[in-house]
Amino acid sequence: VQLQAFGGGLVQAGGSMRLSCAASGRTSGYTMAWFRQAPGKEREFVAAIGWSASTHYADSVKGRFTISRDNNKNTVNLQMSSLKPEDTAVYYCAAQLGKRDYTTPEYGYWGQGTQVTVSS
């Protein structure tokens, strides 16, 4: 499975942005997730969605971000709203077959990352 993320850029605080991640292969049974890494910080979990569409969010984004997937198109999306400067980071999509511990970074497949910058 190869992943490619799209949709990053610059947005003002309070604004919205949508990230997409396209998988080259079938993602049947895969857990899909988004992580982010800010300068000088460790990569952190943002959101994940299981094959059954169960969703999980970091407390810092709960209520502001929504993860979704289209299994027919092998894509996963992250709709981000009420963005804050602290959301500024490189966002990575990730995939792992059958992963249940959604928040840990042991995913076998990673996209290249897309920069999201939120200005104050």
Question: Reduced to 3 states, what is the DSSP secondary structure of residue 74?
Answer: coil
pLDDT in the model for residue 25: 80
With CA atoms as reference, report the closest residue to 45 among 65, 25, 28, 69: 65
pLDDT at 96 over 90: yes
At residue 100 the predicted structure's pLDDT band, cuts being 50, 70 and 90, is confident
pLDDT in the model for residue 26: 82
- Could you report the per-residue pLDDT of 49-91, keeping only the tens digit for each? 999 899 999 999 999 999 999 999 999 999 999 999 999 999 9
Residues 6+ apart with CB under 8 A from 72: none
Residue 69 to residues 12, 42, 84, 118: CA-CA distances in angstroms?
A: 26, 26, 24, 24
pLDDT in the model for residue 99: 86
**Both structure tokens of 9:** 């850029």
